[in-house]
Chain A
Amino acid sequence: MLMRSRLSGAVALAAAVTLALSACGSGGASGGDGKTFTVWWYEDAGNPQDAAWQDALKDFQAAHPDVKVKFERKVWQQIQDAGAMILNSNDVPDLLEYNKGNATAGAVSAKGLLTDLTAEAAKQGWDKTAGSALTVGTYDSKGLMGPGKVYGIPSYGEYVSFAYNKDMFAKYGVTVPTTMDQLVAAFETFKAKGITPLAESAGDYPAQHLLWGLAVAKADRNWLNGYFGLKAPLDTSAASPLTQAAQTLADWTAKGYIDKKSTGLKAEDAWDQFRSGKAPITYAGTWMVGDFKEKIKSFQWGQFLMPGSGISAGSGGNIWVVPTKAGNKDLAYDFIKLTMDTKRQNLMANAGGVALAADPAAVTDPVGKQVNETFAKLASSDGLGLYGDWPVPNFYQVIFSNTQTLVGGSQTPAQFMEQLKKPYDQVQSSVG
């Protein structure tokens, strides 16, 4: 008897649980009642963007005391992989930080999944605040970045540069390189002392940033426009900046400037080699500046840009997008507005982040000052070279895995280019 009642009890419990769950409904859904505001971003806790936006959330709550604020921290990779899948559902947040580029924001905007923010941006003056960085949020009807409608608002900027250990440079008598030859000479100096100079990770995103950094340093604006606009099939000749970059990357690994084992290292492993003083140089985006600033205590460090054409990997930061199906768009606009105001922009800059509209006089932190000045210079000289994976869907994964095998030495630069050409040309022929 006992047993039987237990089983029916269990079945009843299951039924009850199931009912209770259906009542819970979806976690990400926004009701559209103006009573809840759901926002997602994937900045690491405590980094400059996160610090500024958390501050904005406080002010937002104060301004909307009756609104329940639901914030979720996501992971960049998760949004990269599943962003389209989430936006294509009814369970969308009111506002999210989304990945810029044709393959991500562009593709979903073309499918009508993002709210057109052109009018709102003009009304609120965000187009002026963001300036040229607004490009990363502007897409045409095919989802290609460039003149079109505004679907995303960047509230910060970023660029990728070398970070170097000033103490080690001084110890080995190395000066900050301004040409490629000097850079290679610096590598040689460290190499001769048994130090692998460049901390790198090819088991994660950093190596493809280095590849792209090397490519844009050989490129001009014309080549970049062709590449991103899918104007022609991918040029795989030896003269193509991308081929040259692949060659350089292969050479640097062969000569031991880059550890061959970096194919099995995650980004964090590479940063750790730099932070712990094992490697004197690394190639890192400005999103790491806050981290370096906070965690590197035992030596002085600085930055220098990739020597070459004056173009660096970089762009406006990732963008705020409002899903078409968002229920509380006005609340989303209110929050974007807070992240774009001077208070937040100054806060971000002083924490070491790249602000778009900080008041230079208010930026007192030396690290923050340097990165903001560098970004402003790059932006005004048309020196932001964006990122190589933007033109084609899933190109991120393609470049990533092929850079990994290139660094690992199991693929030649020519083979590497062939692997990239296939998906690029496939999309190019259907769009162009």
Chain B
Amino acid sequence: MSTAPLSHAARKGYLRYLAPGALGFAVVVLVPFVMNIAISFTAWSGIGTPTFTGLDNYQRLIHDEMFWSAFAHSIWFIVAMAIVPTALALVLAAGLFDYLEPRFGPRVSSALRAGFYLPQVLPVAVAGIVWSWILTPYGALNGVLQKVGIADPPNWLGDTSWAMPSVMLVLVWMQLGYGLVIFMAGMARIDPQFHEAAELDGASWLTRFRHVTVPQMRPEIFVVLLTTTIAALKVFGPVFVLTKGGPGDATNVPSYYSYSNFFGNLQVGYGSAIATALTVVVIALTVVFIKIQSKAEGA
């Protein structure tokens, strides 16, 4: 479906509608983006004039353990923000939509959905305060654990080996609602006849989930995985408010590492190089994702 073909002149008339957006885009995205790349080839404290140093920052980057460990942590963030919440959300959505809704009506399922979605609308700064208050060594969670007989509960955010799992838990909590809402909306699209046919064949809920729901939800799963993976690579807020990358550098991520180089170390050139490297990874990943998807669709 497409609009009637427009003449060249007619098309040109629409150009002026692009003017505000194009101007804004140039000033807010394009110019800063190019500037950032340019800065990454310099040594600059942010004050005075930058000195051109060629590829020095990138050479340093390659040998910087901190940078690599930050990137390695990104993988855990992808698990916590993309993989786990997507899988959980899919099961939950199917449970709410295919199981509860026919049995208890749409009110029950949408009330439950609302409850799961609420953390999504919470500002990350607020989520950070709430959770660090709950996870502090003598805080609410450990209070509960001690009551049920665990004498020495973990030091959630302060222990090098527990900090990452704790941050991951908070992220799963935050992200769950996103996938849930999209999947439930998507399930409304599936023709109920698929399910009914399967049911008549005696397929259990689990079998239907595997053989009807999941294959039908492929486009939604793709979108959710793509957007949350990108978000996981760029994650900043939760790290800033929960751990500031610590303890040590146990939860440091590239975005936080570049931020601390910009404004903490005053090594703007190096910070820019980290940010540029991160951008390349994110964009490459997006392109690969979309290529795979369009191939799958074509097949």
Q: List A residues at the B interface (Cβ < 8 Å).
A: 81-82, 84-85, 88, 107-108, 111-113, 202-203, 259-266, 269, 393-394, 397, 400-402, 404-405, 408, 410-411
**Complex partner residue of A260 from B155, B246, B250, CB under 8 angstroms:** B155
**Given the complex of chains A and B, what is the CA–CA distance between A175 and B286 in angstroms?**
67
Inter-chain contact A393/B160, CB cutoff 8 Å: no
A401 partner residues in chain B, CB cutoff 8 A: 244-249
Closest residue of chain B to A111 (Cβ to Cβ) is B47
**Complex partner residue of B265 from A113, A394, A404, A405, CB under 8 angstroms:** A394
Inter-chain contact A404/B158, CB cutoff 8 Å: yes
Closest residue of chain B to A83 (Cβ to Cβ) is B263
Closest residue of chain A to B137 (Cβ to Cβ) is A261
Shortest CB-to-CB span from A19 to chain B, Å, is: 16
B136 partner residues in chain A, CB cutoff 8 A: 264-266, 269
Inter-chain contact A394/B260, CB cutoff 8 Å: yes
A81 partner residues in chain B, CB cutoff 8 A: 263-264
Inter-chain contact B159/A264, CB cutoff 8 Å: yes
Inter-chain contact A111/B247, CB cutoff 8 Å: no
Inter-chain contact A84/B46, CB cutoff 8 Å: yes
If A113-B47, A394-B260, A400-B246 are given as contacts, then 19 extra A-B residue pairs at C-beta distance below 8 Å, sorted by A number, are A82-B263, A84-B46, A84-B266, A259-B137, A260-B155, A261-B138, A264-B135, A269-B136, A269-B138, A393-B264, A394-B264, A401-B247, A404-B158, A404-B246, A404-B247, A405-B160, A405-B250, A408-B159, A410-B159
> Which residues of B (147-171) have their CB < 8 Å from a CB of A?
155-161
Inter-chain contact B137/A107, CB cutoff 8 Å: no
Q: List B residues at the A interface (Cβ < 8 Å).
A: 45-48, 135-138, 155-161, 244-250, 260, 263-266
**Complex partner residue of B158 from A108, A111, A393, A408, CB under 8 angstroms:** A408
A85 touching B263 in the complex, CB below 8 Å, given contacts A263-B159, A410-B161 = yes
Inter-chain contact B266/A263, CB cutoff 8 Å: no
**Given the complex of chains A and B, what is the CA–CA distance between A264 and B160 in angstroms?**
10
Closest residue of chain B to A406 (Cβ to Cβ) is B248
Interchain residue pairs with CB less than 8 A apart (7): A111-B45, A263-B159, A264-B159, A393-B266, A397-B260, A404-B247, A410-B159
B250 partner residues in chain A, CB cutoff 8 A: 405
**Given the complex of chains A and B, what is the CA–CA distance between A394 and B264 in angstroms?**
6
**Given the complex of chains A and B, what is the CA–CA distance between A111 and B249 in angstroms?**
30
B155 partner residues in chain A, CB cutoff 8 A: 260-261, 263-264, 408
**Given the complex of chains A and B, what is the CA–CA distance between A170 and B298 in angstroms?**
82
B260 partner residues in chain A, CB cutoff 8 A: 394, 397
B248 partner residues in chain A, CB cutoff 8 A: 401-402, 404-405, 408, 410-411
Inter-chain contact B247/A405, CB cutoff 8 Å: yes
B46 partner residues in chain A, CB cutoff 8 A: 84-85, 88
**Given the complex of chains A and B, what is the CA–CA distance between A128 and B56 in angstroms?**
48
> Among B47, B247, B260, which residue has the most Cβ atoms of chain A within 10 A?
B247
**Given the complex of chains A and B, what is the CA–CA distance between A108 and B47 in angstroms?**
9
**Complex partner residue of A88 from B47, B158, B249, CB under 8 angstroms:** B47
A112 partner residues in chain B, CB cutoff 8 A: 47
Inter-chain contact B157/A264, CB cutoff 8 Å: yes
Inter-chain contact B137/A265, CB cutoff 8 Å: yes
Inter-chain contact A397/B264, CB cutoff 8 Å: yes
**Complex partner residue of B266 from A107, A203, A397, A411, CB under 8 angstroms:** A107
**Given the complex of chains A and B, what is the CA–CA distance between A111 and B268 in angstroms?**
15
**Given the complex of chains A and B, what is the CA–CA distance between A108 and B244 in angstroms?**
24
**Given the complex of chains A and B, what is the CA–CA distance between A263 and B251 in angstroms?**
14
**Given the complex of chains A and B, what is the CA–CA distance between A290 and B247 in angstroms?**
30
Inter-chain contact A263/B247, CB cutoff 8 Å: yes
Closest residue of chain B to A423 (Cβ to Cβ) is B265
Shortest CB-to-CB span from B269 to chain A, Å, is: 14
Shortest CB-to-CB span from A171 to chain B, Å, is: 23
Shortest CB-to-CB span from B129 to chain A, Å, is: 12
B157 partner residues in chain A, CB cutoff 8 A: 203, 264
A405 partner residues in chain B, CB cutoff 8 A: 160, 246-248, 250
A265 touching B249 in the complex, CB below 8 Å, given contacts A81-B264, A107-B266 = no
A393 partner residues in chain B, CB cutoff 8 A: 264-266
A408 touching B264 in the complex, CB below 8 Å, given contacts A113-B47, A263-B247 = no
Shortest CB-to-CB span from A197 to chain B, Å, is: 17
Shortest CB-to-CB span from A301 to chain B, Å, is: 22
Shortest CB-to-CB span from B194 to chain A, Å, is: 39
Closest residue of chain B to A266 (Cβ to Cβ) is B136
A265 partner residues in chain B, CB cutoff 8 A: 136-138, 158
Inter-chain contact A410/B266, CB cutoff 8 Å: no
Inter-chain contact B264/A264, CB cutoff 8 Å: no
> Among A261, A393, A394, A397, which residue has the most Cβ atoms of chain B within 10 A?
A261
Closest residue of chain B to A415 (Cβ to Cβ) is B248
